[in-house]
Amino acid sequence: MIAPETAPVVVVGGGPVGLVAALGFAGAGVSVVVLEAGEDGVRAEWRGSTLHPPTLELLDRIGLAESAVSGGVRVDRLQYRDLEIERIAEFPYRLLEGTTRFPFRIQYEQYKLLGQLRAAAVAHPDVDLRYGQQVTSVELDGRWATVTADDRSGVSRRIQTSWLIGADGARSTVRQAAGIGFPGTTHPTRSLVAATRFPLAAAVNDLGPVSYWTGPQGRVSLIRTPDTWRVALSTDVGAGRGASQTPDKQPHPRLVAALDRLVGDRRWADVPLGQHQLYRSHQRVATRFRAGRALLVGDAAHLTSTTGGMGLNSGIHDAFDLTDRLAGCMRRGDDAAEQRAADGYAAVRHAVATQIVQPATSAVRAAVDATGRAVREARLDGLRRKAADPEQATQHLREVSMLETHENVCAR
């Protein structure tokens, strides 16, 4: 058998989280091979778009915060509203001034960030980004991880590495090969997402760039991005798991009802929908984030409801936490320190996922999916009381912006 090539670190998955990890290692002088199953183009499709203040601080370390801030939509106020109750709870991000260099939230489409991360990875001499690489097997022993991947022509190559980073998403090959469980639940309602260029801010009174609405049929989120408005809502109606509808088909009845109520007339229907998709949301956490020489980050390690925009942000935090702990030890050649660093990463980020992010996102999703008027009214009034108290309002913004999580981890 031909001897495998070697690399200090192999990252499986060339999405945002995998590339942040790769750039983190490379920036510390550790060479990285990135194996990405897809092609080198970046599709302009909807995924995450929210970048919270601590995430911007982290991206600034690799030179990508400025482009997101200048190219994205700056959110200076966070709104909570209801389709039937004429009251608004609003939290101004200026309350975070002095606690973060980025006292605002940015809406910046994930595919744009991914394109910039890929360009940065290609330009870095210590990152070897390989496309069209389908990982077929992973072998773990006490000293090495060995990955086998098939390229576009079907040629198999083996790479032996000190550390294998699984950033390959919810169906992670690395996680499965390592025998790590992925327990959790699936939300009973589907999420319906549509993109529209209709000027919602001109049609809805005092509409902020991000507003979370409740209503008699559940949640409606309105999020402004540079190119479009994103409308997300919950529904029991529609096709099966993973189904989607193309823009030229009849809009989903739940979407029609929500937009009709928001806009007050049918003008929105004259503007074609950019995307129109149904998907399931999950709350899952891997039983452990480390198995020998394999470590999990991002969706390979945890899945959460998209409401509140914590999924992508949490994955980016994983990547920085891991490289901050591990890269320096690798550069010194201190294997015992590497083992401690890997254990520390796995323990801390597992605790963050299970004790902070999962409970928070589960509670928010349950609250916004509630349909009873009395429950919705009580929640909105509670939020209004928080918003009226500067101390409580600041704490609320710290929690939804993940500042509490980030600062607690950084203070370890």
- Is 90 a member of any domain? no
- pLDDT one-digit tens code per residue, 331-389: 999 999 999 999 999 999 999 999 999 998 888 888 888 999 999 999 999 999 999 99
Nearest C-alpha neighbor of 80 from the set 378, 391, 398? 378
Alpha helices in 167-238 (DSSP H): 173-177, 200-203
Tell whether 124 and 154 lie within a shared domain: yes
Q: Give the whole-number percent of the chain exceeding pLDDT 90.
A: 77
Tell whether 172 and 318 lie within a shared domain: yes
- Is 405 a member of any domain? no
DSSP per-residue codes, 140-167: E-SS-EEEEEE-TTS-EEEEEEEEEEE-
Say whether pLDDT at 253 is over 90: no
Tell whether 215 and 355 lie within a shared domain: no
Q: Which positions ≥6 away from 342 have C-beta within 8 Å?
A: 163, 290, 295, 325, 326
- Is 394 a member of any domain? no
Say whether pLDDT at 243 is over 80: no
Mean pLDDT throughout 107-114?
94
Residue 245 has a pLDDT of: 44
What's the structural domain count of the chain? 2
- pLDDT one-digit tens code per residue, 282-293: 899 999 999 999
d(CA 178, CA 351): 20
Reported as a pLDDT band with limits 50, 70 and 90, residue 240 is very low
Helix (H) or strand (E) holding 66, with range, is helix 65-71
Residue 408 has a pLDDT of: 54
- Is 242 a member of any domain? yes
Residue 246 has a pLDDT of: 43
Mean pLDDT throughout 84-109?
97
| CATH code for the domain in which residue 210 is found | 3.30.70
Reported as a pLDDT band with limits 50, 70 and 90, residue 39 is confident
* Residue whose entry in the numeric block shows the structure tokens 């969706």: 299
Query: What Å distances lie between residue 251 and 216, 221, 270, CA to CA?
Result: 20, 17, 12
Tell whether 299 and 271 lie within a shared domain: no
Tell whether 269 and 325 lie within a shared domain: no
Tell whether 287 and 211 lie within a shared domain: no
Tell whether 274 and 152 lie within a shared domain: no
Mean pLDDT throughout 56-72?
97
Tell whether 237 and 160 lie within a shared domain: no
d(CA 169, CA 299): 5
Say whether pLDDT at 406 is over 70: no
- Is 268 a member of any domain? yes
- pLDDT one-digit tens code per residue, 219-239: 999 999 998 999 999 887 544
Tell whether 35 and 147 lie within a shared domain: yes
| CATH code for the domain in which residue 13 is found | 3.50.50.60
The whole-chain average pLDDT of the chain stands at: 91
Residue 242 has a pLDDT of: 42
Tell whether 53 and 124 lie within a shared domain: yes
Residue 411 has a pLDDT of: 44
- Is 411 a member of any domain? no
Q: Give the whole-number percent of the chain exceeding pLDDT 70.
A: 93
- Is 393 a member of any domain? no
> Of the candidates 258, 279, 300, which is a domain's last residue?
279
Comparison of pLDDT for 191 and 329, the residue scoring more: 329
Comparison of pLDDT for 61 and 40, the residue scoring more: 61
Residue 227 has a pLDDT of: 87
Residue 275 has a pLDDT of: 78
- Is 144 a member of any domain? yes
Residue range(s) defining the domain that contains residue 223: 187-279
> Of the candidates 221, 247, 279, which is a domain's last residue?
279
Tell whether 293 and 212 lie within a shared domain: no
Nearest C-alpha neighbor of 380 from the set 93, 92, 87? 87
pTM of the complete model? 0.93
The DSSP call for residue 362 is H
Residue 277 has a pLDDT of: 82
Residue 301 has a pLDDT of: 98
Tell whether 202 and 294 lie within a shared domain: no
